[in-house]
Amino acid sequence: MAGLLALQLALAAFALLARGAAAVPVLVREWRRRRQSARLERRAREIERGDRAAAEWTPAEAVAALVLIVAARGRGEQAGAAVARLAETLRRHANSAPLVGASDRLPGIAAALDGRRVAANRGTEDALALLVLVGRRLGVRLPAETVTGLLYEVDDLARENGPRTRLQDWMLEVFADAAGLHLVPQEEDQEQGQAQRRAETSGTTAYSESGDIDIDTADFDCLHAIPHIGPERAQAIIGRRPLEGIEQLTALGGISPKRLQRFGISA
């Protein structure tokens, strides 16, 4: 009997150790993330004290900095070299007022960023600290829904030349945390699969003949399940039916044509 009890205690102790060992990598990652966040916060405060121009960026200038840092610096480009490309992309695809307003600020902010890159000689850390500054500024000055939509549109810009780089992933995460969004990253195939599974069980004919999600027939639950649509936009879409074109969807704000195409949405 004593031997059985000893065995049970040993197994219980082993199970506790195993669970603890499994938790160690998570704890280590969280510790590193907090340490890194604290370092970036210190650097952001240094920038505020030492760079009056950056500390006083308007929301439009802050958005321009966000675009240039993520879409250009996140791929190793000089900000100035990417201005013409990004300005044209914004003219063609920008869907939210903050991005449209930032287009004219790109040249001036690019010059400032490239000048900082040479003077600061800190490279990635300086860019990430600027994103902390930008995220805090926009998180206070703009509604949370506007900042969320802006994040998704900048994500689209980051993918213009292919999948996001690891640095771009890091940059978007830093910006989201600083802006108070605390988004949980999801893989796109999981997001699309969730929307399609909800559509298949919604009780309506949610797909067009081409296999895309049909916005004119999908019900509220199906629309709500589409990544980045949410309940308010889902209700707004239903209220605008019948839709004559994708432009009526993008007019809602925070929904870019490229993102709709990626998730198989047609009107």
CA–CA dist 28, 259 (Å, integer)? 34
**Predicted local confidence at residue 51, as pLDDT:** 85
Residues 69, 40 contacting (CB under 8 angstroms): no
Tokens found for residue 216 = 């004119």
Distances (CA, A) of 121 to 8, 71, 116, 129: 59, 20, 8, 13
Q: Looking at this protein, which amino acid is placed at residue 253?
A: G
* Phi, then psi, of 2 in degrees rounded to 5: -65, -35
Q: What mean pLDDT comes out for the span 156-167?
A: 87
Q: What mean pLDDT comes out for the span 81-109?
A: 85
Sequence-ordered list of residues with C-beta below 8 angstroms from that of 88, at least 6 positions apart, any chain: none
- 30, pLDDT greater than 80: no
Q: Which residues pair with 266 in a beta bridge?
A: 214
- Which has more confidence, 213 or 211? 213
**Predicted local confidence at residue 3, as pLDDT:** 60
Domain positions in the chain: 40-178, 188-266
Helix (H, G, I), strand (E, B) or coil at 214: strand
**DSSP character for 124?**
H
CA–CA dist 175, 191 (Å, integer)? 22
- Which has more confidence, 121 or 167? 167
Residues 41, 82 contacting (CB under 8 angstroms): no
Q: Which residue do the tokens 């840092």 mark? A: 69
* Phi, then psi, of 263 in degrees rounded to 5: -95, 10
- Percentage of the chain beyond pLDDT 70 is 61
Interval 233-244: pLDDT, tens: 777 778 777 777
Sequence-ordered list of residues with C-beta below 8 angstroms from that of 116, at least 6 positions apart, any chain: 51, 54, 126, 130
**Predicted local confidence at residue 192, as pLDDT:** 47
- 67, pLDDT greater than 90: yes
Q: What mean pLDDT comes out for the span 196-200?
A: 49
Report the mean per-residue pLDDT for the chain: 75
Name which of 61-65, 156-160, 249-253, 261-265 the model is least confident about: 261-265
pTM, two decimal places: 0.63
Highest mean pLDDT among 173-177, 186-190, 228-232, 256-260 belongs to 173-177
